[in-house]
Amino acid sequence: MKITVVGAGGNVGATVALSIAQRDYAKEVVMVDIERKEGDKVFYPSKGRALDQWESSPVHGFDTRLRGAVDYAETAGSDVCVITAGVPRRPGMSRDDLLGINAGIVKSVTEELVKHSPNTILVIVSNPLDVMSYVAYAASGFDSSRVMGMAGILDTARYRAFLADELDISPKDIQALLMGGHGDTMVPLPRYTTVSGIPVTQLIDEQKLDAIVERTKKGGGEIVGLMGTSAWYAPGAAAAQMVEAILLDQNRIFPCAARLSGQYGIDDLFLGVPVKLGKGGIKEIIEVDLNEKEMDLLKDSAKAVRQTMDEFHELMNKQS
């Protein structure tokens, strides 16, 4: 099995690559990034990261080869490609500037990947996630079962970690589902949260649960506030879990950003929903029962994503 991670000279991409290697089921992980010029020096961040990680293999005990690359020819025949490439928002850069730049990056990266791996499956991590997933979907020309975005596993992991702290229990025993967009319009579903089968609402009072949901929504910002830059361990581990489910045909049920075509009454939009992940990508989009309040929240979330999509289309029209 061959996996490519693009943007792997950066924090999230490098973490995805190492998380995959440490599970030791794949033959190789190709870590692509651009070269960085500083004066008369040229640096190759993903080659450096790959070498450093490969040198940890005797200690960690894995065989998966990690290889840095700049040339997409080296990614040929990848079974899954993860895209974490992008630029962070810099002072003076508007939201639209960022959207335009990252869309351009994701589009060109997707085209290169697809050229060399026409049968691959694409997992998108670059933000704004729901829109970048659409960009990759459109640029690849793939069936939507082969293009998906990573956000739900990360959001759910944060929620489970906070609950585990509050209840002083193992995060492994917490099963949860969050839907919708990544961020403020995330749709929490306490009804679908259990601790080893016990509804979480029997173990925690409503106020505390609400506070945990709010903290989860702002989970990304909490890390930025502490570190001055965005998270990578949990996002990297979450993307690696999607890769594993696909390549090992695990048929796992995860919340992922998937292109909806009528499910939940929403059409032609990438949004976080529970899916069955295995060989070939998304095998099924699961439509869970939502009450009126939950459905309203999901529609609000869809509206917010649709608005960013509209801004993106406007931007593209202006540029063309």
Under the binding rule (CB under 6 A), the answer on residue 13 touching ligand APR is: yes
- Compute the least distance from the CB of residue 86 to ligand APR, in Å: 4
Instruction: Select the residue interacting with ligand APR from 159, 162, 232, 312 (CB under 6 A).
Output: 232
Residues 67-86 that bind ligand APR (CB under 6 A): 84-86
Residue 126 in the binding site for ligand APR (CB under 6 A): yes
Question: Rule CB under 6 A: is residue 12 a binding residue for ligand APR?
Answer: yes
Question: For ligand APR, which stretch binds (CB under 6 A), given 4-12, 56-64, 185-193, 305-313?
Answer: 4-12
Residue 15 beta carbon to ligand APR: minimum distance, rounded to whole angstroms: 8
Q: What is the DSSP string of the chain?
A: -EEEEETTTSHHHHHHHHHHHHHT--SEEEEE---EEETTEEE-HHHHHHHHHHTTHHHHT---EEEEESSGGGGTT-SEEEE----PPPTT--HHHHHHHHHHHHHHHHHHHHHH-TT-EEEE-SSSHHHHHHHHHHHH---GGGEEE--HHHHHHHHHHHHHHHHTS-GGGEE--EEBSSSTT-EE-GGG-EETTEEGGGTS-HHHHHHHHHHHHTHHHHHHHHHSS---HHHHHHHHHHHHHHHTT--EEEEEEEEEESGGG-EEEEEEEEEEEETTEEEEE------HHHHHHHHHHHHHHHHHHHHHHHHHHHH-
Q: Please identify, among the stretches 172-180, 229-237, 290-298, 311-319, the one whose residues bind ligand APR according to the rule CB under 6 A.
A: 229-237
Asked if 19 is part of the footprint of ligand APR (rule: CB under 6 A), the reply reads no
Site stretch for ligand APR (CB under 6 A), options 10-18, 172-180, 184-192, 252-260: 10-18
> For ligand APR, which residue of 75, 127, 133, 144 counts as binding (CB under 6 A)?
127
Closest to ligand APR by CB, 88 vs 280, is 88
34 touches ligand APR (CB under 6 A): yes
> CA dist 181 to 138, 228, 270, Å?
19, 23, 9
Q: How far is the CB of 134 from ligand APR (least distance, A)?
A: 15
What residue has token string 């229990």?
Answer: 169
Among all residues, which ones are annotated catalytic? 182
Complex with ligand APR: residue 126 or 144, whichever CB lies closer: 126
Q: Identify which range of 61-69, 73-81, 92-100, 230-238 contacts ligand APR by CB under 6 A.
A: 230-238
Q: Looking only at residues 88 through 117 of this chain, which bind ligand APR when binding is defined by CB under 6 A?
A: 88, 105, 109
Give whichever of 152 and 190 is closer to ligand APR, judged by the CB atom.
152
Pairing relationship of beta strands 121-124 and 147-149 according to DSSP bridges = parallel
The CB-of-313 to ligand APR minimum distance in angstroms stands at 20
Burial 303-320 (b: 16+ CB within 10 A, else e): ebbbebbebbeeeeeeee
Q: Is 20 exposed, middle or buried (0-12, 13-18, 19+ CB in 10 A)?
A: buried
From the list 9, 152, 181, 190, which residue makes contact with ligand APR (rule: CB under 6 A)? 9
Q: Which residue is nearest to ligand APR (CB)?
A: 10
* Selected range binding ligand APR among 90-98, 120-128, 168-176, 187-195, rule: CB under 6 A: 120-128
**Is position 281 an interface residue for ligand APR (rule: CB under 6 A)?**
no
Residues in the site for ligand APR, rule: CB under 6 A?
6-7, 9-13, 32-34, 45, 84-88, 105, 109, 125-127, 230, 232, 235
